[in-house]
Amino acid sequence: MADITRRHFLQVLSAAAGALSGCDSLRRSGSKAHVVVVGGGFGGATAAKTLRSLDADLNITLIEPKANYITCPGSNWLFAGLKTLPQLSVDYQALTDRHRVRVVADNVASIDRDRRRLQLSGGQTLAYDRLILSPGIAFQRDAIAGYSPDMANVFPHAWQAGAQTLLLNRQLQAMPAGGVVLIVAPPDPYRCPPGPYERASMMACWLKQHNSRAKIIILDPKRSFSKQALFEAGWRQHFGYGTTDSMIEWHTLADNPITRLDAQARTVISDFGDRFRGDVLNIIPAQTAATLAIDAGLTDKSGWCPVNPKTAQSLFDQHIHVIGDAAHFTPIPKSAFAANSEAKACAVAVFSLLNQQEVPAPNWLNICYSLITPKHGISVAGVYQLDSEHAVAAIKGAGGTSRVGAGDLSLLEANYAQSAYRSLVNNSFR
Ligand SMILES: Cc1cc2nc3c(=O)[nH]c(=O)nc-3n(C[C@H](O)[C@H](O)[C@H](O)COP(=O)(O)OP(=O)(O)OC[C@H]3O[C@@H](n4cnc5c(N)ncnc54)[C@H](O)[C@@H]3O)c2cc1C
């Protein structure tokens, strides 16, 4: 990032922090209201925690079925042996003990929007004054003929971290000498735009040590991808990218996308009939907002939840706020950092609305680090503001990406990636 860009970026960061702390002095007449947060990922946990910091008396319930949340950020690092699943696991103890959030370990089966009630799978019903939804993503069922998300136990997506990540890692490590990993990348928009390319890098690090003739082939329905110049320069430097011996190949199939799977032959087939066989098939399906949001009628034909970005209120229901991957905050990418940022702005909006206060205009941040090797990090950062009542825009000149050929800075960025991960987890869950 150029100096001027970094300075502007830091100014906006401190302005955003000021906007949050300034809300402490707002009226607290809505203290007895009940705010229910659904989904204990980066968005939901941050929203619950921030609400508590704004109002000591508010009645806050978080509903999340899992006792331990496994973070997707950092999960690609497992393929290079840099992380284990327990190191990616976080519980809700701090939310309960330190932030006095009532955490209910259950799944929300349905939302009765007219009566403002949730039906939980365990049988309980729960009334809310305001609902914050951060339920993450679901996978489209019909994008690749012959493939359904139920086949993920054979062809893991590993796009929801946990057992899927371990399965894909076992398949990688059991691959025959000189075998092929196919990564079928998803179309836009999807969670974590640089994720498939960081994954290829981390897998290549392991293969270079243990299966040096193996190949990773990325089949992409997009013409270009996030941080492409940086990834390709890194692949050239470390994995012979662009030569016949390259461990990583990237193919755009924008005009000829993968449309079929022949599961028996472990082969994916493109629109024009080109066949690609892999020993390991990492099919990352096209995505939508989570099923709960779809069933509640909160998505539009894009499959994502349209919101008023200023308040994160659903355009279909003003008592429901949607944040994180499920919501449509374009051009902000779907990332954990963005979910954390959207959650903070949403908590301020909910608090303001409960107290009949003007909702302050939010800023949002996204910083996304990726590792190409354990010692080579790259990053992209963006700062966003309201462009109009219903549109978000990137602030020109704020944010930016690392430089190609940054030399020693790449090592620093790799270290920053690790510390940014720890900070984000602490900031969201502890
Ligand atoms: C491989 C990979 C690497 C990534 N790396 C990064 C990175 O380095 N940096 C970064 O910023 N982002 C990264 N991301 C993206 C990041 O993981 C997501 O953007 C982030 O998790 C979104 O948070 P969320 O709260 O919207 O959803 P989630 O984290 O998916 O949380 C949703 C929660 O809702 C719960 N839920 C769903 N339905 C219900 C229901 N009906 N009832 C109750 N609970 C429900 C789920 O159990 C889940 O815990 C990565 C993603 C992947 C796949």
Domain range annotation of the chain: 3-138+287-429, 142-283
How much is the pLDDT for 5? Answer: 39
Distance CA 344, CA 331 (A): 18
Q: How many alpha carbons lie under 13 Å from residue 146 in its C-beta half-sphere?
A: 15
CA of 279 to the centre of ligand 1 (A): 28
- For 94, the enclosing helix (H) or strand (E) is helix 93-97
Q: Which are the contacts of 190, defined by CB distance < 8 A and separation ≥ 6?
A: 137, 284, 286, 287, 334
CA of 325 to the centre of ligand 1 (A): 7
Distance CA 230, CA 240 (A): 14
In CATH terms, the fold of domain 142-283 is: FAD/NAD(P)-binding domain (3.50.50)
Question: pLDDT at residue 10 above 60?
Answer: no
The model's confidence at residue 116, banded by pLDDT at 50, 70 and 90, is: very high
Q: Are 192 and 158 in contact (CB under 8 A)?
A: no
Q: Are 256 and 276 in contact (CB under 8 A)?
A: no
Q: Which residue lies with its CA nearest to atom 5 of ligand 1?
A: 73
How much is the pLDDT for 390? Answer: 81
The three-state secondary structure class of 209 is helix
How much is the pLDDT for 148? Answer: 85
**DSSP structural state of residue 114:** T
Mean per-residue pLDDT of the chain? 92
Region of 200 on the Ramachandran plot (φ > 0 left; ψ -120 to 50 alpha; else beta):
alpha
Is ligand 1 within 6 A of the CB of residue 75?
yes
Q: What is the mean pLDDT of the segment spanning 212-231?
A: 97
Question: 383-400, pLDDT tens digit by residue?
Answer: 999 998 789 999 999 999
Q: Which are the contacts of 112, defined by CB distance < 8 A and separation ≥ 6?
A: 118, 119
CA of 43 to the centre of ligand 1 (A): 8
Pocket of ligand 1, candidates 37, 46, 68, 72: which has the most ligand atoms within 8 Å of its Cβ, to mutate?
A: 72
In Å, how far from its chain's centre is CA 218? Answer: 20
Strands (E), 271-347: 275-277, 280-283, 287-289, 305-308, 313-314, 317-322, 327-328
The model's confidence at residue 12, banded by pLDDT at 50, 70 and 90, is: very low
Question: 82-93, pLDDT tens digit by residue?
Answer: 999 999 999 999
How much is the pLDDT for 13? Answer: 37
Give the position, in ligand 1's atom list, of the atom nearest the Cα of 366. Answer: 11
Question: pLDDT at residue 80 above 80?
Answer: yes
Question: 288-304, pLDDT tens digit by residue?
Answer: 999 999 999 999 999 99
Q: How far is CA 220 from CA 146, 231, 286, in A?
A: 18, 15, 12
In Å, how far from its chain's centre is CA 74? Answer: 11
Question: pLDDT at residue 425 above 90?
Answer: yes
How much is the pLDDT for 8? Answer: 38
Question: pLDDT at residue 14 above 90?
Answer: no
Please indicate whether the domains covering 3-138+287-429 and 142-283 agree at the CATH topology level.
Answer: yes
Percent of the chain at pLDDT > 70 equals 93
Q: What pairs with residue 408 in β-bridges?
A: none
Going by C-alpha positions, the residue among 127, 205, 138 that lies closest to residue 172 is 205
Question: pLDDT at residue 41 above 60?
Answer: yes
Complex ipTM value? 0.99
CA of 200 to the centre of ligand 1 (A): 20
Question: 138-166, pLDDT tens digit by residue?
Answer: 999 888 999 987 899 999 999 999 999 99
Q: Which CATH architecture has domain 3-138+287-429?
A: 3-Layer(bba) Sandwich (3.50)
